[in-house]
Amino acid sequence: MAGTGTEVGKTWVGAHLLEALRGRGLKCAARKPAQSFGPGEGPTDAEVLAAATGEEAETVCPRHRWYEIAMAPPMAADALGRPKIEISKLAREIDFRDGVDLGLVETAGGVRSPIAHDGDTVDLMALLGPDAVVLVADAGLGTINAVLLSYAALAPARAHVFLNRFDAGDALHVANRMWLSERFGLHVVTDVEQLAGTVR
């Protein structure tokens, strides 16, 4: 689960996707390799994802990867005087137990946002080799630029593009979906149930 940027709704889409898949009888697990957050921001991503899968938040994101300051994880680690984050260690910490039908990994920020001192989502995906990538994007103004740049960075992994907060009554949202799918041939999804059928 990657995003064109921060706050596009990766966690929301991921949690609803997991709930939809569990509703279809699949055993699901979620992992957040590292999370940073400001004080009083409400539940963390790990807590939201844990509620969706029925896991413990510290299983979703190990406690030593919680950074209590709203900066990219490596910057937060530096600001908090914590050890440097190595991308290979983040990848090794992602451990799905046997019997899981679908394991979801939510990265941090956008695809080129630093998640470690020596890597970003593109690097993490190269290490993990996911079966599918979901690129979450906003549905509104500016999304074509953000999607195309992010999609190119994700190559050769083929991503499903999820336009979040899509409103079928909004002419701009409809035009953006058509532009991305028809001009650029991207697989664009706007509905969580449809996404569940796609990644399953």
Binding site for Mg ion (CB under 5 A): 10-11, 45
Whether the Cβ atoms of residue 199 and residue 173 lie closer than 8 Å to each other: no
CB of 25 to Mg ion, least distance (A): 26
DSSP character string of 60-87: HS-GGGEE-SSS-HHHHHHHTTPPPPPH
In the complex, what is the shortest distance from the CB of residue 106 to Mg ion, in angstroms, rounded to a whole number? Answer: 6
**Shortest reach from residue 183's CB to Mg ion, in Å:** 29
Catalytic status, residue 32 = yes
Nearer to Mg ion, 45 or 55 (CB): 45
Point out the residue whose Cβ comes nearest to Mg ion: 11
- Of 10, 32, 84, 89, which one is the catalytic site residue? 32
- Based on CB atoms, which residue is closest to Mg ion, 3 or 119? 3
Tell me how far, at minimum, the Cβ of 134 lies from Mg ion, in Å: 13
Tokens read off for 131? 């079966």
Cβ closer to Mg ion: 48 or 154? 48
- Element holding 151 (H helix, E strand): helix 143-154
Nearest by Cα to 193 from 52, 19, 5, 7: 19
Nearer to Mg ion (CB atom), residue 39 or residue 156: 39
Burial level of 41, CB count in 10 A (0-12/13-18/19+)? exposed
For helices 10-23 and 192-199, give the axis angle rounded to 10 degrees: 70
Q: Are 159 and 149 in contact (CB under 8 A)?
A: no
For the annotated catalytic residues, the residue numbers are: 32
